[in-house]
Amino acid sequence: MDIDIIQIQPYFEDELWSPEKFPILERSRLHHLEPIGIGTPMVESLTSYVTRLAHSHGVFVNTLLSRIVNPLLQQTFIKNSTGRGLKPFFNRSHALNGYGIIATDFVEVLNQLTLHNQLEFLTLIPFSNILVTKGLLRPHKAWCPICYQHWKQNKQIIYDPLLWSLNDVRICLIHQHTLVQNCPHCHSQLLWLNWKSTLGYCSQCFQWLGRYSKTSVVTQERWIVENLGEFITNANQLSSVLTQELIPKSFTHIVHKVSEDNIAAFAAMHKIPKNTFWGWYSGKTCPSLSALLQICYNLQISLSQFLTQDFNLSTTHCQNLKLDTKYSKNIRSSPKTLDLDHIENTLTKILSQARDPLPTIAEIAKQLKINRRVLSRHFPLLSHQIVVKRRNYMGMCHLAAIEQCCQEIREAVVSLNQSGEYPTESRVCELISNPGYFRYKKVRLFYKKTVRSILSSL
What is the per-residue pLDDT across 184-240, written as a single tens digit (0 to 9) for each?
Answer: 999 999 999 988 889 999 988 889 999 887 766 678 888 999 989 988 988 887 777
The parent domain of residue 284 ranges over 243-325
Instruction: Identify the domain boundary among 225, 241, 257.
Output: 241
**Are 153 and 293 part of one and the same domain?**
no
> Residue 156: what pLDDT?
94
> Residue 328: what pLDDT?
44
**Are 304 and 226 part of one and the same domain?**
no
54-88 burial: b if 16+ Cβ within 10 Å, else e: bbeeeebbbebbbebbbeebeeebbeeeeeebbee
∠ at Cα 34 (30, 36), nearest 5°? 140
Q: What is the mean pLDDT of residues 169-183?
A: 91
Q: What is the mean pLDDT of residues 96-113?
A: 92
**Are 96 and 183 part of one and the same domain?**
yes
Which amino acid would we find at residue 84?
R
> Residue 324: what pLDDT?
42
d(CA 416, CA 428): 8
Q: Is residue 236 part of a domain?
A: yes
Instruction: Please check whether residue 327 is in contact with residue 267, taking contact to mean a CB–CB distance below 8 angstroms.
Output: no
Q: What is the mean pLDDT of residues 396-401?
A: 90
Indicate whether 85 pLDDT > 70. Answer: no
**Are 116 and 172 part of one and the same domain?**
yes
> Residue 21: what pLDDT?
56
Indicate whether 296 pLDDT > 60. Answer: yes
**Are 111 and 175 part of one and the same domain?**
yes
Q: Is residue 100 part of a domain?
A: yes
Comparing 165 with 214, the larger pLDDT belongs to 165
Domains held by the chain: number: 3
| Long-range contacts (CB closer than 8 Å, 24 or more residues apart) made by 355-361 | 356/393, 357/390, 357/393, 357/394, 357/397, 358/386, 358/389, 358/390, 358/393, 359/390, 360/390, 361/386, 361/387
Confidence of residue 143 (pLDDT cuts 50, 70, 90): very high
Q: What is the mean pLDDT of residues 134-160?
A: 93
> Residue 319: what pLDDT?
52
**Are 299 and 235 part of one and the same domain?**
no
**Are 32 and 153 part of one and the same domain?**
yes
Percent of the chain, pLDDT > 70? 86
CA distances from 26 to 23, 29, 64, 84, 118 (A): 9, 10, 21, 36, 18
Instruction: Please check whether residue 288 is in contact with residue 274, taking contact to mean a CB–CB distance below 8 angstroms.
Output: no
Indicate whether 79 pLDDT > 80. Answer: no
> Residue 212: what pLDDT?
83
**Are 283 and 431 part of one and the same domain?**
no
3-class SS string, 179-222: CECCCCCCCCCCCCCCCCCCCCECCCCCCECCCCCCCCCCHHHH
Instruction: Please check whether residue 289 is in contact with residue 131, taking contact to mean a CB–CB distance below 8 angstroms.
Output: yes
Q: How many CB atoms lie within 10 A of CB 24?
A: 6
**Are 43 and 186 part of one and the same domain?**
yes
Tell me the average pLDDT of the chain.
84
> Residue 323: what pLDDT?
43
d(CA 419, CA 428): 13
Q: pTM, whole model, 2 decimals?
A: 0.66
Q: What is the mean pLDDT of residues 293-314?
A: 81
Q: What is the mean pLDDT of residues 105-109?
A: 93
Closest CA to 39 of 227, 199, 237: 237
**Are 112 and 179 part of one and the same domain?**
yes
